[in-house]
Amino acid sequence: MAYLLGIDVGTTGTKALLIDESGAIVSRATHEYPLLTPRPNWAEQNPADWWQATTRAIRDALSASAIDPAAVAGLGLSGQMHGSVFLDARGEVLRPAILWCDQRTAEQCAWITEKAGEKVVVEETCNPVLTGFTAPKIVWLRQNEPETYAKVRKILLPKDYVRYRLTGEFATEVSDASGTSLLNVRRRQWSQKMLAALDLSEEMLPKVYESPEVSGRISAAAAEATGLRAGTPVVGGGGDQAAGGVGNGIVRPGVISVTTGTSGVVFAYMDEPTMDPRLRTHTFCHAVPGKWHVMGVMLSAGGSLRWYRDVLGSEEVAVARRMGLDPYELITAEAARAEVGCEGLIFLPYLTGERTPYPDPDARGVWFGATLYHTRAHLARSVLEGVSYGLRDSLEILKAMGLPIEQVRASGGGARSAVWRQIQADVFNSQLVTTNMDEGPAFGVALLAGVGAGVYKSVQAACDATISIASQTHPTADHAAHYERCYPIYRALYQSLKDHFKQVSAL
């Protein structure tokens, strides 16, 4: 029996997931780390925290499994996309990594677009330059911390820093590299036009692989740190969304996923790269070799509910601790007691700016329509509904692009809540299914490791061997009709407020 290890370097923690070749979960372990916010709209982390969490998670997963590490046939890496790790000539980290949700680079995005030319940017990268992406972070460092930038020799994405520590190799893969604004997404290689426009050398970037390709092997030092066997192959892996797409079985046309994690993502497979004419969605390379995906991204989906928990849910947290429950169970149970549509209370989930359908770092969270009648239950439910409206924005774009939507698969932390699944089904007016696997990116890259190690013939074959439908949630007709009346109001609010958002941001 072969075993496969998936590592997901997330925003809140690193997960190690060990599966067997049938897809059964053998063991899992997660270790968390802090998010640093030194200024409003800034988000950073220390790469050393990722490495420490990774080694501890791997050791814990191996220990819990009691298997011989030599039986691990391969390892796959996933992680939060777009972050920037700056290394010096010795491979040492020069400053905290700037993360995907950091919004400091609006000026640099405009500068890059002007310098390279909007036509070149879109032709090469299939996307606009956005504040979350990697290239504007590099330019920001050059403009604002020139002493540090002068020492930079390598620039890595978060999971690829962990790869470097595991293997000693500077490598990435096409799906994660697609979110840098430096990859020619159609050709699946670094864009010489973008590099030249930004005066960047390809030597500063890692080698690009396809996601199931072996990119390195566990070094002796990493073997000692993790308990893995030296020489274990490490495949390219995938950015968290592409890896989650594989983990959800989104590897053929017609099947899409709606993932509610810290961010919210609507994700669809494509045989050829296709773009929304208004560039509201992202067209990236898929973790399936030679294929692409399109996705709409909300920055604060589950993150909005986490904010609600941390700021307004102290009572639920205390009660849940005494009862041995997850606080989210109590919050969503309370939300279920409120009326559908929350009696006109609408939440805009733009707590960290927004990306789809509004690439606006200045957007802000809003509760609209509050009255003396509204209770905490309405507040909680309005967050679930507001995020669902935001996810529907992306679904509507995919429909307008002509992509087939035959099945919608719900995943992420939000999919574990029957209350939130029902709200999404009603807001989308579409059946939602869940699969037997809810481990997301870690499971996806474990499958990719299996392809690279020869356990499966292809990514599609890996998914077919391990993933099946577990549950179905059907929309309730009268609820869907009510949300159909609410949704246009939600849509209109951003247009009414966008100029005020900029004024507030300027303050």
Say what the pLDDT of residue 361 is.
85
Q: Which residue has the tokens 């099947």?
A: 255
Which DSSP string do the residues of 46-74 spell out, in sequence order?
-HHHHHHHHHHHHHHHHHHHT--GGGEEE
Domain regions of the chain by residue span: 3-248, 302-434+476-506
User: Which residues are 15's β-sheet partners?
Assistant: 8, 30
Whether 103 shows a pLDDT value over 90: the answer reads no
| Distance separating alpha carbons of residues 139 and 238, to the nearest angstrom | 24
User: Cα angle at 353 between 408 and 328, to 5 degrees?
Assistant: 55
Domain 3-248 shares a fold with domain 302-434+476-506: yes
| Structure confidence at residue 468 (pLDDT) | 95
pLDDT of residue 492: 98
Per residue in 374-433, pLDDT (tens digit) is: 999 999 999 999 999 999 999 999 999 999 999 999 988 899 999 999 999 999 999 999
pLDDT of residue 438: 84
Contact between 175 and 238 under an 8 Å Cβ cutoff? The reply is: yes
pLDDT at 506: 87
Q: Tell which wins on pLDDT, 351 or 413.
A: 351
Catalytic residues: 240
pLDDT above 90 (res 440): no
- In this prediction, residue 176 carries a pLDDT of 98
Of the candidates 410, 393, 382, 408, the one whose C-alpha atom is nearest the C-alpha of residue 354 is 393
Amino acid 412: pLDDT = 85
Query: What's 302-434+476-506's CATH class?
Result: alpha beta
Can you tell me which residue has the tokens 């247009």? 495
**What integer best gives the mean pLDDT of the chain?**
96
pLDDT digits 0-9 by tens, 207-250: 999 999 999 999 999 999 999 999 999 999 999 989 999 999 99
Q: Tell me the longest C-alpha to C-alpha distance in the chain.
A: 64
Q: Per-residue pLDDT averaged across 107-112, rounded?
A: 97
> What are the angstrom distances between the C-alpha of 160 and each of 44, 100, 205, 237, 430?
16, 15, 11, 9, 37
* pLDDT, tens digit, 9 for 90 and up, residues 173-207: 999 999 999 999 999 999 999 999 999 999 999 99
Tell me the CATH number for domain 3-248. Answer: 3.30.420.40
Q: Is it the case that residue 137 has pLDDT exceeding 90? A: yes
- Express each pLDDT in 298-316 by its tens digit: 999 999 999 999 999 999 9
Yes or no: say if 456 and 465 are a contact pair by the CB < 8 Å rule.
Answer: yes
